[in-house]
A and B are shown apart, each in its own frame.
Chain A
């Protein structure tokens, strides 16, 4: 009789544990997914022409976001040259697409600097910069890593996330293009974005 009670007791413990595991799994699995949809937040910044720009710029059309800085020696120019190439290849198919280059170094990247820089690649890229605190808010809301790394003579460079983010017409993240992703894959992702 006592053994039977013990057996029922143990089964009850196992049942509770299993439920707990299922719940935790579901929570981590689907919880992060829900969080992923919440990327982005309202912001008040300045575009390369000195005009105010807000999160409204990312909706009503598919958008491409790339975060970088003009003192960036390698990954930013490479990516922006590739971006100019993608836009050229897409031609009319990509006319809805809006491309934004968002500075992770707003102290040095004034709107004028951004304007001269983006124009070297294509006239299709809009530079975004502005108040450093407001820029940081924007970076955080998109989970973009950016960190100043001191070099000599008070100079610095930036470590930063180098992925290109593709947003749908509602400004929600649809996919990303990684640094050095093949042109074919990049174009496929962009075509999917435009179609979606």
Chain B
């Protein structure tokens, strides 16, 4: 009888520990999910001539922030290179193509005056921490779940309008890991 109660106590302990571990796993998973949008949120790719634009997203702005980043993947299906030269949006005073880079420990941000090349038969990716769109002097804060219209301007394909999904403030991608 005594050994039985010991075994029961042990079983209870094991069960509660594994339950706690599982709960912890779950919260860790939910946390990582918060920064990545689900497939359901993904917009249909937009086709413009030989260009295909997909996974367009921006991030909810933080209090006081007047700028937002825009991220999108651009695939060029033609044999000729194209070039993203700029853009515009009703929610921002200006839309520019910017490059972020690290010089040692110093973060540098520069406007790419000549824009970004979309290589023939290749892909150009605007992503957090790299080349990205800057929505400058936002007319209103960007709220998670909203859609933001942005018109991108290409040297050859001309103007392309698409919707950017506003993700969480720490969104890193539109895709699953």
Contacts and interface: CB of A to CB of B under 8 A. Distances in A.
Interface of A: 70-71, 73-75, 77-78, 81, 85, 113, 116-117, 119-120, 145, 149, 151-153, 155, 157, 159-163, 176, 178-180
Given A159-B107, A162-B107, A71 B67 contact: yes
Given A77-B62, A113-B64, A149 B109 contact: yes
B128 A74 contact: yes
B111 interface: yes
A81 B132 CA distance: 20
Given A159-B109, A162-B107, A74 B102 contact: no
Contacts of B69: 73-74
B67 A161 contact: no
Contacts of A70: 62, 64-65
> Which residue among B31, B102, B107, B132 has the maximum number of chain A CB atoms within 10 Å of its CB?
B107
A140 to B, nearest CB: 15
Interface of B: 31, 62-69, 93-94, 96, 100, 102-103, 105-111, 128-129, 132, 134, 136-137, 169-170
Given A73-B100, A77-B65, A152-B94, 8 more contacts: A73-B134, A74-B100, A74-B109, A81-B170, A116-B64, A153-B94, A160-B107, A162-B102
A159 B108 contact: yes
Nearest to B134: A73
A151 B111 contact: yes
A74 B64 contact: no
